[in-house]
Amino acid sequence: MENVIIFDTTLRDGEQAAGTTLNKEEKLEIALQLEKLGVDVIEAGFPISSPGDFEAVSLISRELKDPVVCGLARANQKDIDRAWEAVKSAAAPRIHIFISASEIQMAHQLHKSPEEVLDLAGRMVAHAAGYLSDVEFSPMDASRAEPEFIYRLVERAISCGATTVNIPDTVGYAMPEEFGDLIHSLMENVSNIERAVISVHCHNDLGLAVANSLSAIRAGARQVECTINGIGERAGNASLEEIVMAIATRQDLYNINTGINTEHIYRTSRMVSEITGFPVQPNKAIVGINAFRHQSGIHQDGVIKMPKTYEIIDPQKVGVPSSSLVMGKLSGRHAFKERLAELGYTLSEQDFTRAFLAFKELADKKKEVTDRDIESLLAEEKRAFAGAYHLEMLQVTCGAGIPTAAVVLACPDGQTRGDAALGTGPVDAVYKAINRIVTVPNKLAEFTVKSVTEGIDAIGEVLIRIESEGVSYTGRGADTDIITASAKAYMNALNRLLAERNG
C-alpha cells in the first residue's frame, strides 16, 4: 500500500488560533510529542514573523531527529533567507513558500497581476531551491482561484524546484466532491506533476476540512496538512486524529497507510489542549470525553455483549485508557507509577516524586482520584515556572459584606510579599491583591470554570486569558477550591507574560 504523508501544522497554523501564544519551550514539548506520534513533517513556525518564532523553529530543528522540520515563508527573499537560517540545522529541513492565487486576494491583498504572481512564485521557489532540495509551494486560496491559473502556477513552481505542491482551501470554501475534482484536474492538466507530491491544506469554516482532505486523498493527494484537535485560524484546520483514524478504519475505501503511532493520539490531544488552553469539546470525534462513552441502554447492552456493535474504533488504539481506575490515599508509589505509564506519562525520578506527593495531598482531599484528576494534577505541576511568582497563601472573605482577599506570593528574587484588596467578588479581590504585588498592566479578557470530574469534591479547572500590549496570554489552574484555582490560573498567565517579555 502507498503511504500518505502527515504534515502537522499545529505549531504554525494551530498557533494562529485567536488567544493562543506558545513560547519556544512549549513548542519544543509539543514537537517532541509529535515526533513520538510519528508525523512525517512538522511545520514548526513562521520564522520571520517574530524573533521568538525564529528561535522556536531553530530549537526544534536542532532537537528533533526523525521528522522533516519545515519553516513557512512568503514569496519574499527575506522570508526565505530567514526560514533557511531557522531550519538549516534540521536533519531533514524544508522551506514552505506561499503566495496568493485567487483573483480577490491578488487584487485586494497582494496588489499584483496574475503574471506578476507567476513570475514572483517561480523566482522565489528557485531561490529556496538554491538552499535545499525539499521545497514546498502553496498557491493560497486555490479553491477560489481560476483552475487554469493554478495549473500554470503549479507547473512553474515545479519547474523551478518545488518538490511538494500544496493546494489550500484557505477559507474553507470548497465542497468535498468539488475539491476532489480540483486535485484530479491537477493530475490531468499539469505536465510535470509527477515530479512533485500533491498536498492539501483545508480549513473548517463550513465544517468540511476533514471531508475535503479525505476527498483529496481519494483523488490522488499524498500529503495532508492538519493539526491536533483541529485547532487553527478562525474555525480551525482539518483534524489530524480524524483523518488518520478515518483512513485506518476505512481501509476498504482508502487502501493507504500513515506512519502514525495511533496509541499516542489521546496523549498528544491532551497535551495540546493543556498547553494552548483550548479545551476539547466533549463530543469531539476520537479524543472527546464522550467519544467512547455510552449512555443509551440499548447501546450499553450491545457494547457489553460485543464492543464492535457500537464502537467502530477500539479506544485503546488511540491511547484512551482501557478503564477509569480509581485510586485513593492508600495507593502506593508502584500503583501510581503504573497508572501514569498507562496514561502515557514518563517522568524523571525527581518529577515522579513531586507528582506522587501532590497525588497524596489530593487524595487526602478527595475520596477517589480518577484518571482525569491525575491528568489535571500533572498539568498543574508542569505549570510551575522556575524563577517565577508562586502562590504561597490565599485567604478570602466574602458573602453579605465586601469581598476581601489577602495573598502571599513567593517572588523571583527569593522574597515573599503579601498584600490585600477589596473587590466586587472573591475572584476580583484576589486578582486585585495579586496586581498590587505583580505590577504588570493587563486586562482580563476571558474567564471560564469547569469541573474536571463529577461530584461535590471534584477538581475545578479555571481557564483565563489576559491581554497586555495587544498580546493574549493563557493561564490555567486547578484545585478542589475554585478560588485557589482562579488564583493559580492568574499566576500562570502572569508568569507567561513575564517570561515572554524577559525573553
Query: Hey, where are the domains in the chain?
Result: 2-276, 292-320, 324-382, 390-502
pLDDT attached to residue 386: 63
Condensed to tens digits (0 to 9), the pLDDT of residues 146-193 reads: 999 999 999 999 999 999 999 999 999 999 999 999 999 999 999 999
Return the number of other C-beta atoms located less than 10 Å from residue 217's C-beta: 24
C-alpha cell at 193: 506533476
Three-state DSSP state, 140? strand
Return the CATH superfamily for domain 2-276.
Answer: Aldolase class I (3.20.20.70)
Same fold: 2-276 with 390-502 = no
Q: Give the lowest-confidence range in 68-82, 103-117, 404-418, 460-474.
A: 460-474
Return the number of other C-beta atoms located less than 10 Å from residue 101's C-beta: 28
Condensed to tens digits (0 to 9), the pLDDT of residues 403-443 reads: 999 999 999 999 999 999 999 999 999 999 999 999 999 99
Mean pLDDT within 498-502: 83
pLDDT attached to residue 297: 72
C-beta of residue 44 within 8 angstroms of C-beta of residue 12: yes
Q: What is the enclosing helix (H) or strand (E) of 136?
A: strand 135-140
CATH topology of domain 390-502: Double Stranded RNA Binding Domain (3.30.160)
Among residues 317, 315, 371, the alpha carbon closest in space to that of 345 is found at 371
* pTM (predicted TM-score): 0.85
C-beta of residue 64 within 8 angstroms of C-beta of residue 90: yes
